[in-house]
Structure 1
């Protein structure tokens, strides 16, 4: 019995140690992204590798799949931001924005995709919070692409995603993640105003997808 208790404590400590390291790397990613530093993407890649393990062990299967997507987007984001920096005199590269009609269409499409994923997770897996987790997954996929494309409004999407994620992670007793997403929410608000200021100060830009 003592051995089982000891093993359980060791597993708990290992899981939360991994969660802590991944959390610190994820926080570094967001802060570096806010500053438009290219090094945000290596931090994101390392964080996603660790978070994939944490999410899988916590039965947040949509989030585990999402982390694999984040890893791919970290590589794409590194390449994309390098291209933007080389194409502009500003070492940070330009930022972009869309009209509200385009955002509305994107929100509808993403919500439908999240609902479909939720149906799959609810009926065919043991995932917890299947529908709400699927929605945050779908919108995170979309918002991460907007970060890589340097769209100002990506930060507004993250404010909502992060706020919902706080509830999910608190319910799963992932305390480092809960605290991280509280910080994320504040940083996302600041990020929007900082990127919008940059956008307003640069020449008019159009985003080609």
Structure 2
């Protein structure tokens, strides 16, 4: 009798968690689609989806991914403020590129942090896949900042991070989230093309304005 009650409770918990995962996935997709269109509402979807994933990742021992969600919550607020602040001043934050030096610094920093935190997690915690978990976490930290500043190459970074995340989530049996990131890999290509088109148009407009002045 008791075993049956425990089994029913576990099944109910799993069913509830799946519903939460579905909600998080839908909102995460909404964020990406809205971000591709440079819609400020993308940050609302990001905030709620992130809040759900914070608990989901903690539940499956992806400690760095769970901690990352706290950062995402802050960045959702920061990203919303950045995009709204520039719009209100009628000087929209434009899509732009980083220099090669900044990219090398960003990639090098992610590499070092991955090794350090991967080792610390492996030695001191029960975290699953500590090095991969650390890589996707710190890579996402840098790339999320790039999105808030509308850096064009963020889509290329996301392509790598999302691809690595698919294996991470499959290993933790978060199959719906793994499917989400497979869709992400496709959508980030579309996002890059859309942002690149806007970037070219704005660059040409700026050059034409400078010549006219």
TM class by smaller structure:
over 0.9
1:131 aligns with 2:138: no
Give the number of aligned pairs.
203
Secondary structure in structure 2 of the residue aligned to 1:55: helix
Counterpart contact for 1:88–1:94, Cα < 8 Å? no
Gaps of 5+ in 1: none
Structure 1 partner of 2:102: 102
Gaps of 5+ in 2: 208-213
Counterpart contact for 1:86–1:93, Cα < 8 Å? no
Q: Which runs of 4+ in 1 moved over 6 A?
A: none
> How far, CA to CA, are the matches of 1:32 and 1:114 in structure 2?
30
Secondary structure in structure 1 of the residue aligned to 2:200: helix
The CA RMSD over aligned residues, in Å, is 1.4
Structure 1 partner of 2:60: 58
Structure 1 partner of 2:76: 74
Structure 2 partner of 1:45: 47
Counterpart contact for 2:93–2:149, Cα < 8 Å? no
Higher RCO, Cα 8 Å, sep 6+: 1
Q: Which moved more, 1:70-79 or 1:105-114?
A: 105-114
> How far, CA to CA, are the matches of 1:143 and 1:75 in structure 2?
16
Change beyond 3 A, Cα 1:119–1:10:
same
Higher normalized helix content (fraction of residues): 2
Counterpart contact for 1:87–1:93, Cα < 8 Å? no
The 5 Å alignment of 1:141-156 reads 141-156=141-156
Change beyond 3 A, Cα 1:126–1:171:
same
Tell me the TM-score normalised to structure 1 length: 0.93
Tell me the TM-score normalised to structure 2 length: 0.91
